Structure 1
């Protein structure tokens, strides 16, 4: 599984050697990895913890990858999760079918592992840019995920690791309202028990750090719902 700051990739592949090879290489590149050997197991894992990206084999026993993709893309909770479909089918009609079902990318077997990882990074750059080292900007706030530095109006800010992860989460989706439970899952991780009031404490610290050199409070408290940036 992933730590709170790692993107979680779910590998759904029924062939053990392929599954382990993918898991090993993704882990070596710094990704958290979950594994499923069939579609039913994949759906259970996704319910337990929504991954940041799914690598999904087309030819699975019982329920095909195409059907799993269709189900995941029809659900509000998983619609935005990028899916990279793996298939030995190289015909254009199959590629089109996979993409029309909702897959975000389509990779034909046999494939280059380095190319697949590049495609994983490309998809995550779109949905979770901070986790792949992108620089995020919102108004006068600049967050450099790679160097772990934050600036506001040119002033360097000192943030603790939790405040940094909170700000990364907000800056990846400005305007989105995050509930305390969602922030706990994203920032602290599901396996760690933390009281929801802890979120309020760290939001307070983040606000203080962001406003240290002046400027208005960019974080918005939404009564009964949670917090948002902007």
Structure 2
């Protein structure tokens, strides 16, 4: 009988800046997350429905019709178990859903990874 691989937690990183998205994904992969990268919220909503992540990290300002705050509310409606971290170099345009965390850019990796690990 073959050994089964341990199931890795799934994270979705939503960031329209390719370099920042890749850096966030690499940090999470080093912490044993299976990471899906999305450049907009619309793509992230599809990934959320298909993969059921335990963590979403999103920028606020994204290309497309939805911003990161919209995505945070959508994700929470889809799953009350998903942890949501919103990051931005700008102030929040409106409140986040209960339980979502906000980090300002530049994000300190230790703080972000500490929150992601909870």
TM-score after normalising by structure 2: 0.85
Q: Does 2:113 match 1:117?
A: yes
2:102 to 76, 101, 106: 106
Bigger RCO of structures 1 and 2 (CA < 8 A, at least 6 apart): 2
The answer (yes or no) to whether the contact 2:9–2:54 under 8 Å persists in 1 is yes
Report deviation, 1:74.
2.4
Q: How many residues align?
A: 113
The answer (yes or no) to whether the contact 1:8–1:53 under 8 Å persists in 2 is yes
SS for the counterpart of 1:84 is strand
2:42 counterpart residue number: 40
SS for the counterpart of 1:97 is coil
Q: List structure 1 segments (4+ residues) > 4 angstroms apart after TM superposition.
A: none
Any stretches of 5+ residues in structure 1 without a counterpart?
123-230
Query: Residue deviations 1:84-128, cap 9 Å, x none?
Result: 1111124xxx38712xx3452111111111221111012xxxxxx
Separation of aligned partners in 1, 2:115 and 2:76: 19
RMSD: 1.8
Greater helix percent: which structure? 1
Rg (Cα) greater in structure: 1
Report deviation, 1:27.
0.9
Report deviation, 1:4.
4.8
Any stretches of 5+ residues in structure 2 without a counterpart?
none
The answer (yes or no) to whether the contact 1:95–1:106 under 8 Å persists in 2 is no
